[in-house]
Amino acid sequence: MNLLLTLFSAALLTLALPNELFVWGSPFLGLVALIPVFLALYRSSSRNKAALLGVVFGAASTAGANYWLAFFGEFSIWTLGGAMAGYAGYNYLLFTFLFDAIHRGSPRPRSIPGERALAGEGLLPGESWHRPLHLALLWTGYEFLKSVGFLGYPWGLIAYPLSLWTGLAQSAELVGPWGLSFLAAWINAIGAELLLQYRSEGVLVALAKRLRARPFLTRPLDHHVVAAGALVLVLGGFGHYRLATLGPDDHHRSVHILLVQQNIDSWQPGLFSEALLQAQDLTLEALQEHQQTSPEAVDFVLWSETALRRPYRQDDSFYEEVPDQLPFREFLRRLDIPLLTGAPAAAGEGQEPEDYHNSAILISPEGTLLASYGKQQLVPFAESIPFWHVPAVQRFFRTVVGLYGTWVPGGSSAPVKIPAGDTILLAGLPICFEDAFGWVPREMVLEGAEILINLTNNSWSRQDSAQTQHYLAARLRTIELRRPLVRGTNSGLTAVINRRGEMAQAMPMFESNAAVFSVPIPPGEWTLYQAIGDLLGKAAVACAALVLFLREKSGKPERQ
């Protein structure tokens, strides 16, 4: 039974996140997705059995929500398999802590209580009043920890389904995604407690009896229900207030960006020249059409991550000859406006000659390299491998995995200065999944970025859900920092997200397309998240650890 509950919870979480059945996911499922697995933990008779349930949940939920990792070419066994193995391990540890949060302080590990326990005072006998809060803190702390550092992967957060409610999503301005993670986990923990207590008669019948038997709000769980409901109202009320006070963006200065979605992955063998030519053709056709139909001048062109597969150098003759039909340097001269594109860039001083950044580079019509930004948060074991310069490590990854090189992380968050008419646009340029990490865009805004421009290539995933999962994560950055975000992608979701987290303009996914988007640049606003960053996520880790420590000191040890 516990195994079935765990698998059911993994399936609910998969459906709560963007998937092929529900394109954007379901916030309602996000409010109940963890209830079955919490019930399984209540029923578990030992810490070891709970940890094994964590292995199942971690592997199953990762496979369900991230199945598109299987399309990562010849590396799929390592991308999906590695992620499943990693999160099986993470959840093995997490579920031991969750088990202790549920059972610590009881005389022995316990399955779901019998009828006498159902008539208790609002929480199960022997347990503290703060257990639902402790479960929520543990889950929030876990989601924070899995989203930072070298192994950081902020996918599948329980915050994302709730962020679909625009009013609630605005709370990210205060505390990032961690407030939503906490709220969702808390509601799930309360739901599990309710089901445990009312399973014999049904929730409504048992609740009616309790209300008649004695005044409401005399039992600990009643306080949790009211407090969680109040938090929803407060966060939702704040969100709607902020939406009303932000005002329209159409009276601010705007930049006009020609976005190109070529829908051909230049990293596929033999497709580089074809992909480059298609990007050039789409650009020139869209630019000509815009010039014929609109008086507004285009400020610059945006291509996706690694649209240039070969490093761009001003003194390199390669781009004077490729593609054959229209060499890239000739294309730049015809374009007559700057091009912002993804390309490898030499790591430079202090690095080895073969070291390169995964970069965004700005090129003038004359072919001059105006500026660049090197990606800082690299994909672990794909873009960055520990001890890569050790020959034995290189041999393993080249012969067994089929990976022949890595990137060097960039070291600066300084915005890139992009000419935009008579002004200079200060743009933060998160690359690939960097817009899913709060700290990367936050550092860019603290350095002065007026706008965020993401260059990414998710075309290998082949699935809409991969694109929308990435989009939902990136969307929170616009609310946290109150800056617009332009997503320039190879296959989707190419879009402009305004500072309210609303999709202002977008292109259909997995279609070759190019269009000019007008992006208002409102004055920068101070937000609490800018000031404190991910402090709430760190606080959740500290508070959960403190409660576990105090309960360990006061509670009776559990049998294994």
Residues involved in catalysis: 305, 375, 432
Our measurement of the distance from residue 449's CA atom to the centroid of its chain's CA atoms, rounded to an integer in Å, reads 20
User: Cα–Cα distance between 534 and 438 in angstroms, integer?
Assistant: 8
* Cβ-contact 64, 14 below 8 angstroms: yes
Beta bridge partners of residue 15, listed in sequence order: none
Which of 42, 49, 48, 206 lies closest to 126, judged by CA? 42
Which of 373, 365, 375 lies closest to 336, judged by CA? 365
Tokens representing 146 are 């899995």
CA angle 160, 491, 181 (to 5 degrees): 10
**Pairs from 384-393 (Cβ < 8 Å, separation ≥ 24):** 384/150, 384/409, 386/150, 389/352
* Cβ-contact 147, 538 below 8 angstroms: no
User: Cα–Cα distance between 499 and 483 in angstroms, integer?
Assistant: 5
The region, left, alpha or beta by phi > 0 then psi within -120 to 50, assigned to residue 236 is alpha
Amino acid letter at 378?
L
In this structure, the chain runs to a length of 560
Q: Which residue has the tokens 């702390």?
A: 141
User: Cα–Cα distance between 44 and 190 in angstroms, integer?
Assistant: 18
* Contacts for 266 with CB less than 8 Å, ≥ 6 apart: 272, 275, 276, 306, 307, 308, 309
The alpha-carbon radius of gyration of the chain (Å, integer) is: 26
User: Cα–Cα distance between 256 and 293 in angstroms, integer?
Assistant: 14
* Cβ-contact 356, 310 below 8 angstroms: no
* Cβ-contact 483, 496 below 8 angstroms: no
3-state secondary structure of 497: strand
3-state secondary structure of 472: helix
**Residue 477, φ and ψ in degrees, nearest 5:** -65, -35
* Cβ-contact 491, 509 below 8 angstroms: yes
Which of 256, 299, 254, 252 lies closest to 522, judged by CA? 252
Beta bridge partners of residue 302, listed in sequence order: 259, 340
**Residue 373, φ and ψ in degrees, nearest 5:** -135, 130
- What SS3 string covers 296-335? CCCCEEECCCCCCCCCCCCCCCHHHCCCCCCCHHHHHHHH
Which of 224, 205, 245, 54 lies closest to 131, judged by CA? 224
